[in-house]
């Protein structure tokens, strides 16, 4: 009977099993084996019973033995228990100690959200008490079957199919045990967190398949709905994945006549569908897009082109006219060749379009690019110095997409509203490529600064996810109607610290949480993020799967350390303007973030400040970020930036630049007194400005703030 069932599963579901060597390694340990897996459909138990070696005993909630499940269980060994009974696991413990191979779904139920549900600590307690070795299994594909619970009647909905391809991935065996000094609630909490992280990480390791970005787009069109709309913009220029692939082949072929032999090509375009077609057109023909920051000005853009050895920049006359960038483009034209998309489109005739349709997706050179080849060049914002080129590989970006997917589940029909510019890594990876390459939809908006329009647009397109900075989210909240964000599942904030006042504002006005995350351009960019299943206010969440970290002590700073990270999402390397075109990789794969952080016992990360954003006053190290924090609490409506200038007596002194006219040296002293901070954390000078400078990415422009402070003391 089992042989026939296995044959039918292989025939209809094309079941593939990966990593069986990990199971056999566990068998070699001669310890009891406890299988665990994510629970996505009614097929999960039979799949494990049929395709994982050995005779498996399942622990099943007695209330779930009904209907089809009751019939399927006749083919398996199982222990029926009352999952609400604290003693439910004793039967499984007995079976494991008797040498049986046992299996538990740690979520205790089939997912109704498409993502990992609540993970119970009972599984970890069983493993610890029996000394069993845990063999994790990840089930992928069954969530799209007719036997999943994602039919819209319980919670989430996906387009279900009778026979989707199913992949079982067996991950390396793990031991789960708590430190000996923990007991009671602390022990349960520790084991629950450890098991949750294991289940979460399994999703990344099982799904991550390095390939080129163009090949991943083709895969997404085949695996998800290739003909459904996946891209829309303010001009209502809608595209499906199939149409995007064809447009990329046609436009790429036309551009190739102009840029053949060039490694990197500049892209100077806003968030519109044409940008995406241009990005993938370059990918299709093996060129690396160098994303230029059009808010930076002519000087930085020319410098960026020289640093990356860019010979040609692709832009649009309509965009140049709309943004009044004529002078900037004229300056750029002195160092690079400018190609306007309008001119390229005029050269594309009907025959070219037909050939683009007929040409195989796998016939373009970019399809076979190596995963470790460079995929994009971004430029650091220059918030603390001269911009550098950051080279990210195809593998870097795809790894980060899967790392994010393991943290935040996005269903194929859901929409990400992206107003963050794609010259910023947050806007490119999370805002654009994540939804496009994972089967969802992306709505592109050209500027994050349209505070009144963006909430209305999010309402109109039924946005499910939005990314932004604290500055942007504060602006949206001031203008938005309480219903504008009714469909939002998650706001995700990054790039700068999320103020508690902003988080509270969204809870009060919209009844929605903001999940704070953290990343840097050099890590593609996400490094950590809070998620519904695991979050802690005041932190940026736990590190994403696959990231190693270390903290190096910083003289004068007692708490935390300087964060170094390593992982598949860490860049290929830098391009410096004093040595154009030469890639400088991170030593031994470790990247110095330059951030001072602390990590608690559960792995939650708290950002204490930039290493460069500390002042040394009378021999003491003072965090400029910490000073801003208590001032923000006193004046949540204002925008405040604290910098330091030389002081002949104390080494340095603090200067506050603010747009809040109610602040003065006296009110700052009062705020410091209420916050209970030391006297050395009180700015000696307050400078009132009409607007505190910000970058196009939403971060405070500290070099410009520094200049304001220096001009004040120089009398200019």
Cα–Cα distances in angstroms (integers) from residue 614 to residues 540, 611, 626, 628, in the given order: 20, 6, 9, 12
Q: Are residues 570 and 655 in the same domain?
A: no
Per-residue confidence (pLDDT) for residue 618, from 0 to 100:
64
For the segment 487-509, the average pLDDT, to the nearest whole number, is 91
pLDDT tens figures, 671-715: 888 887 778 888 888 889 988 988 776 778 887 888 898 888 777
The whole-number pLDDT of residue 675 equals 80
Pairing of strands 548-554, 614-617: unpaired
Q: Considering Cα of 477, then 481, then 483, then 487, what sign does the dihedral take?
A: negative
CA nearest to 291, candidates 272, 322, 277, 270? 270
**What's the pLDDT tens digit per position in 200-233?**
999 999 999 999 999 999 999 999 988 999 999 9
CATH number, residue 695:
3.30.300.30
pLDDT grade, residue 70 (50/70/90)? low
Let me know if 160 is exposed, middle or buried by CB neighbors in 10 A (0-12, 13-18, 19+).
Answer: middle
Of 545, 580, 607, the residue at which a domain comes to its end is 607
Output the pTM of the full model. 0.87
Per-residue CA distances from 547 to 213, 387, 480, 565, 660 (Å): 21, 25, 37, 7, 40
Residue 386, pLDDT > 70, answer no
Interval 19-54: pLDDT, tens: 999 999 999 988 899 999 999 999 998 999 999 998
**How far is Cα 540 from Cα 551, in angstroms, rounded to an integer?**
16
**Residue from 88, 87, 70 nearest 79 by CA:** 88
Contact call for residues 22 and 173 (beta carbons, < 8 A): yes
Q: Is the dihedral of CA 281, 262, 301, 335 positive or negative?
A: negative
Range of the domain at 470: 213-607
Cis peptide before 525 (omega within 30 of 0): yes
Q: How far apart are the first and last CA of the chain?
A: 88
User: Based on the domain organization, do 130 and 21 belong to the same domain?
Assistant: yes
Task: List, by residue number, the catalytic residues.
Answer: 39
| CA–CA separation, 551 and 558 (whole Å) | 12
Q: What is the pLDDT of residues 406-443, one digit of tens each?
A: 999 899 889 999 999 999 999 999 999 999 999 999 99
Query: Domains in the chain: how many in total?
Result: 3
In angstroms, the Cα distances linking 147 to 158, 410, 634 are 12, 20, 54
Q: Is residue 557 located within the same domain as residue 657?
A: no
Q: Are residues 144 and 290 in the same domain?
A: no
CATH number of the domain to which 257 belongs: 3.40.50.12780
**Same-domain pairing of 566 and 550:** yes
In a shared domain, residues 198 and 257: no
DSSP SS3 for 551:
strand
Domain closes at, from 161, 176, 207? 207
Q: Clarify whether residues 656 and 602 are in a common domain.
A: no
- On whether both 596 and 683 belong to a single domain, the answer is no
Same domain, 587 and 704: no
Using the structure block, give the residue that is written with the tokens 């509203």.
417
Q: Do 285 and 305 share a domain, yes or no?
A: yes
DSSP codes of every residue in 218-285: HHHHHHTTSSSEEEEETT---EEHHHHHHHHHHHHHHHHHHHTT-SEEEE---SSHHHHHHHHHHHHT
Segment 98-116 mean pLDDT = 89
Beta strands in 382-503 (DSSP E): 389-393, 415-418, 441-444, 465-468, 490-493
Mean pLDDT of the chain: 89
Shared-domain flag, residues 158 and 255: no
Residue 383: per-residue pLDDT: 45
Q: What are the tens digits of pLDDT across the range 604-621?
A: 999 987 777 777 676 566
* Residue after which a domain boundary falls, among 555, 573, 607: 607
Question: Within this chain, do residues 644 and 677 fall inside the same structural domain, yes or no?
Answer: yes
Instruction: State yes or no: pLDDT of 384 exceeds 50.
Output: no
């Amino acid at each position: 009977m089992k042989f026939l069932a296995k044959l039918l599963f292989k025939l209809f579901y094309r079941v593939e099993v990966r990593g069986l060597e990990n199971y056999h390694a566990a068998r070699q340990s001669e310890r009891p084996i406890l299988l665990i897996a994510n629970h996505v459909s009614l097929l999960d138990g039979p799949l494990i019973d049929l395709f994982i070696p050995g005779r498996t005993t399942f622990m099943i909630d007695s209330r779930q033995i009904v209907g089809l499940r009751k019939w399927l269980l006749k083919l398996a060994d199982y222990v029926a228990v009352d999952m609400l009974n604290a003693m439910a696991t004793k039967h499984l413990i007995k079976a494991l100690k008797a040498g049986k191979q046992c299996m538990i779904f740690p979520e205790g139920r089939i997912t109704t959200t498409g993502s990992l549900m609540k993970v119970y600590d009972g599984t970890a307690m069983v493993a610890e008490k029996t000394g069993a070795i845990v063999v994790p299994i990840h089930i992928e594909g069954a969530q799209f079957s007719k036997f999943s619970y994602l039919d819209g009647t319980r919670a989430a909905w996906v387009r279900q199919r009778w026979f989707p391809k199913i992949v079982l991935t067996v991950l390396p065996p793990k031991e789960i045990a708590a430190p000996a000094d923990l007991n009671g609630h602390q022990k349960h909490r520790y084991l629950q967190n450890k098991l949750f992280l294991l289940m979460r990480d399994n999703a990344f390791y099982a799904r991550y398949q390095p390939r080129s970005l163009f090949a991943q787009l083709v895969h997404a069109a085949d695996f998800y709905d290739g003909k459904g709309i996946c891209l829309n913009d303010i001009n209502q220029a809608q595209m499906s994945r199939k149409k995007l692939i064809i447009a990329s082949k046609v436009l790429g072929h036309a551009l190739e006549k102009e840029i053949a032999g060039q490694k990197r090509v500049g892209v100077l375009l806003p968030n519109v569908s044409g940008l995406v077609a241009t990005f993938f057109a370059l990918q299709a023909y093996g060129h690396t897009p160098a994303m230029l920051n059009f808010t930076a000005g002519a000087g930085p853009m020319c410098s960026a082109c020289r640093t990356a050895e860019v010979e040609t920049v692709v832009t649009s006359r309509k965009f140049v006219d709309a943004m009044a960038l004529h002078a900037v483009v004229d300056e750029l034209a002195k160092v690079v060749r400018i190609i306007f998309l309008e001119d390229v489109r005029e050269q594309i005739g009907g025959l070219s379009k037909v050939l683009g349709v007929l040409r195989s997706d796998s016939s373009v050179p970019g399809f076979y690019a190596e995963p470790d080849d460079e995929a994009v060049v971004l430029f650091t914002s220059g918030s603390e110095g001269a911009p550098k080129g950051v080279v990210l590989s195809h593998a870097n970006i795809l790894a980060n997409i899967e790392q994010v997917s393991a943290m935040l589940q996005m269903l194929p029909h859901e929409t990400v509203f992206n107003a963050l510019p794609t010259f910023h890594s947050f806007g490119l990876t999370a805002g654009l490529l994540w939804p496009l390459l994972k089967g969802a939809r992306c709505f592109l908006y050209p500027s994050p600064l349209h505070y009144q329009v963006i909430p209305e647009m999010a309402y109109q397109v039924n946005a499910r996810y939005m990314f932004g900075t604290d500055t942007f989210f504060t602006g949206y909240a001031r203008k938005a109607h309480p219903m504008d964000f009714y469909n939002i599942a998650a706001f995700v904030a990054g790039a700068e610290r999320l103020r508690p006042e902003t988080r509270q504002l969204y809870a009060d006005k919209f009844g929605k949480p903001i999940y704070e995350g953290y990343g840097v351009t050099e890590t593609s960019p996400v490094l950590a993020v809070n998620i519904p299943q695991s979050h802690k206010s005041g932190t940026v969440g736990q590190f994403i799967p696959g990231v190693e970290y270390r903290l190096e002590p910083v003289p004068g700073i007692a708490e935390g350390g300087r964060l170094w990270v390593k992982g598949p999402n860490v860049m290929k390397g830098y391009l410096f303007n004093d040595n154009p075109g030469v890639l400088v990789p991170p030593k031994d794969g470790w990247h110095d973030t330059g951030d001072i952080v602390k990590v608690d016992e559960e792995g939650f990360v708290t950002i204490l400040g930039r290493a460069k954003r500390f002042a040394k006053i009378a021999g003491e190290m003072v965090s400029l970020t910490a000073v801003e924090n208590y001032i923000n609490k006193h004046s949540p409506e204002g925008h405040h930036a604290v910098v330091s200038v030389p002081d002949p007596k104390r080494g340095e002194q603090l200067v506050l630049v603010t747009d809040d006219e109610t602040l003065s040296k006296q009110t700052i002293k009062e705020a410091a007194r209420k916050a209970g901070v030391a006297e050395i954390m009180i700015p000696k000078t307050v400078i009132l400005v009409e607007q505190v400078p910000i970058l196009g990415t939403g971060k405070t422009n500290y070099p410009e703030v520094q200049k304001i402070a220096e001009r004040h003391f120089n009398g200019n």
